[in-house]
Amino acid sequence: MSPRFLLGCLLIAACGSRSAPPVAPPAPEPAQVVASNALRGDYVGSEACADCHAQIYAKWKSSPMRNMTRAAAGAVIRAPFDGATLRVGDDVATMEQEGADRFIRLQTPKGTTRYRVTKVVGGRYREDFVGVTDASPLEHVLPATYFFATKSWRYKGYSVMVKERPAMSARGVWSRECIGCHNTLPLATTLYDELYGPNLPGYQGKLSDRVMPADRTWRVRSLDDTGLAKAIAGEIAFLGAAPPETTSLRELLPAAARASQQRLDGTHLVEIGIGCEACHNGAREHVENEHVRPTYKLSSPLLGMTPPRGDGSRAQWINHTCAKCHTVLFTRYPYTWEGGLRSSANPGGSTTNSGEGRDFELGACSSQMACTSCHDPHTVDSAAHLEKLATPEGNTVCAGCHATIARDVAAHSHHKPGGAGTSCIACHMPKKNMGLDYSLVRYHRIGSPNDPARVLGDRPVECALCHTDRSPADLVANMEAWWGKTYDRTALRKLYGGDASAPALLTTLRVGKPHEQAAAIATLGQSGTTSALRAIAPHLTHDYPLVRFFAHRAIETLTGAPLPLDVGASAADLKPRVDAWLRSLP
């Protein structure tokens, strides 16, 4: 009897027997992924994805990601170029339109320069602009921003935490300022500093690991020095520079950084805006063979990358991908959360919008939960979806890992069952970061409000963001009773200017750092605390104009009436007008 015949008999017998276990299906073969996804030749552009991924492509095409940067020609532009003017000091910007072309004319005591708008940056909360003069094709970051919420123009420089400026500036060159995060570049071109280490010349497109603590830093290494050196020399040549006559990877990396900083422009992008491969990495092999999958992981015979901890879960790779751009510790504002400094070896979390990716990697959940657990990168998250996440119903996102806590969140949180205080993210992702529309967004460094680094390092104590009338001393006493913590009362009083018994938000307005004051201002505005108007008003002349805009919005929210002040004007000009408004209050 042949073995094949015997096997057939056994299978027939098994089929006829009710007691025999079912035959298990064969284990699926491991998915094959692209062999290389980091070099320029690995990229094909988003158009190649449209046929097979039509629904996702359609959503993405109108998304903020896709429209992060777009050519002005043919773009839908909401900002009115109708002769509106913007003044900073003695400088005046005038927004004009001739036919389909838009211009920003900048008049200064030294003369007048007219820029033709070539690109639009952003489009969810505001629009920024890039333009050229007739004398040069070099694209400059233009000094005027149109802000949707107020339907008004604002000085571009005041989009971040900088102090008051005496004049406008259009000296910033687009390709050296914001090209890396707002467009699609090959992954390998963002890794030069990780490969080289400290003291590499500055260039656009660096990854975020340079501002991560050592225990959260991903390690990048060469797997083939000769092959990688050849690829980098090719990238230098692609940018139009002459590669140095060396095969040394160590010598080529500074040359590549300098070439990127000096020569990279819109003609050298994989594509303008955030394309599919900005996140999914080079997908040429996948386009040529659909059974070869793209991957968030760096896949290359020349380069290797390992996570700081764990085995490199899918969540970790997704989060590291998001953090490539969502890092924002690049402004010169010196402070971070956790009482930290941007310049320190271990800076804390970011204080403004767009630092969420790095903040999330600093937190407790980033090895198991991905940014995409809450956010759809292919479209705009609906307000209803985000609001649901901030309710007890949204706790399902956390329950997968924290099932025991999820069964009795009230006992864990010491808040009323079903109330706002039993929402996981209400306490572990509080709204305290400065958003793009003068309201607060959630701090994405998932942690605990009773963490001593937060309680004794930051103002206001996070519980005060909901309990707006409570003092730090009262709230800290609750934390000690509920969670068995002990906090240094001397340090607490020192943090609040010697008195921890007054309401935390009002004390923060008086003694806090600028970003802390902005958090207190916006919280008081949203809470309807009209008694805080006089405490908020002095911040209309704050050293940091961005804080002024938060104060302006909070006051309009509290009074329900427009406040006719241009808080982009100089503090000296604003002061008498603010004083007059204060005298008019009942």
Mean pLDDT, rounded, of the chain? 91
Token pair listed for 10:
């056994």
Q: 10 Å Cβ neighbour count for 10?
A: 11
Where are the chain's structural domains?
A: 33-51+185-323, 66-177, 403-584
The confidence score (pLDDT) of residue 455 equals 97
Least confident of 35-49, 191-205, 434-448, 538-552: 191-205
Answer for the pair 196, 258: CB distance below 8 angstroms, yes or no: no
The confidence score (pLDDT) of residue 345 equals 83
CA distance 210 to 502: 40
- Only one residue has tokens 């990168």, namely 377
Predicted confidence band of residue 208 (pLDDT cuts 50, 70, 90): low
Contacts of 507 (CB under 8 A, 6+ apart): 459, 460, 472, 496, 497, 499, 500
Answer for the pair 349, 355: CB distance below 8 angstroms, yes or no: yes
Q: In the 8-state DSSP scheme, what is residue 152?
A: E
Give the Cα-Cα-Cα angle 111, 115, 119 (nearest 5 degrees).
Answer: 155
Predicted confidence band of residue 9 (pLDDT cuts 50, 70, 90): very low
* E strands, 254-300, in order: 292-293
Predicted confidence band of residue 215 (pLDDT cuts 50, 70, 90): confident
- For 273, counting Cβ atoms within 10 Å of its Cβ (0-12 exposed, 13-18 middle, 19+ buried), the class is buried
Residues facing 335 on adjacent strands: 341
> What is the secondary structure of 186-217 as a DSSP string?
-GGGG-HHHHH-TTPPP-TT--GGGGS-GGGP
**What share of the chain has pLDDT > 70, as a percent?**
94
Answer for the pair 521, 547: CB distance below 8 angstroms, yes or no: yes
pLDDT surpassing 50 at residue 391: yes
Is the pTM of the predicted complex or chain greater than 0.85?
yes
